[in-house]
Amino acid sequence: MNDFDPVIAAAIAWAVGLCLIGGLMTPRTEWYARLNKPSWQPPGWAFGPAWTIILGLAAWSAVIAWNAADSPADQRSILILFAVNGLCHLAWSPLFFKAQRPDWALIEVVFLWASLVALVVGLWPISVKAAMLILPYLAWVSFAAFLNLTIVRLNPRTG
């Protein structure tokens, strides 16, 4: 008996890949330690579990949407929506941490946020449950965008 489900495997690979690559692109350097940050920023240890839960819910959303899709066109839309989101997700950390440009990351987070709105809107007619599973991700990125904006304001570039 073969219980392997390629849809579940692909969704898990997508979520784990985003977590691993995102983690590797988020070094905690002396530069980051010196940044002025708001008192309400969550502790560093909270980000890993938060992203793990959020991307796990997004993977679950992908599986539900894929299985609820009525046509290959719907499935293609689901793939495109999650691929665009994945690319936007992966672009933020290198800008903020590697390039040390919170201002550039603030511009990029708009695209990440828009990709999440597109996911909710695009998944809603296919599966309301799948769309709703994206809402914690959208809420977290909205919070992260405000945190990013606050860090930019607290750390004006002087060079």
Structural domain including 100 reads: 6-154
Count of the separate structural domains present in the chain: 1
159 lies in some domain? no
CA distance 102 to 89: 15
Domain CATH code at residue 87: 1.20.1260.100
Answer whether 29's CB lies under 8 Å from 97's CB.
yes
Quote the tokens at residue 138. Answer: 């959208």
Q: Distance of alpha carbon 131 from its chain centroid, rounded? A: 15
Q: Is the pLDDT of residue 144 over 60?
A: yes
Enter the pTM of the model. Answer: 0.92
What's the CA gap between 150 and 7, in Å, rounded?
Answer: 39
Q: Is residue 140 part of a domain?
A: yes
> Quick check: is 145 in a domain?
yes
In-domain check, residue 1: no
Tokens found for residue 80: 């495109």
47 found inside a domain: yes
Per-residue pLDDT at 159 exceeds 60: no
CA dist 2 and 5 (Å) reads: 9
Q: What is the pLDDT of residue 28?
A: 80
Q: pLDDT > 90: what percent of the chain?
A: 86
Looking at 3-12, 55-64, 66-75, 136-145, which range is the least confident one? 3-12
Q: What is the pLDDT of residue 138?
A: 98
Region 131-151: what's the mean pLDDT? Answer: 98
Q: What is the pLDDT of residues 20-61, one digit of tens each?
A: 998 888 888 899 999 999 999 999 899 889 999 999 999 999
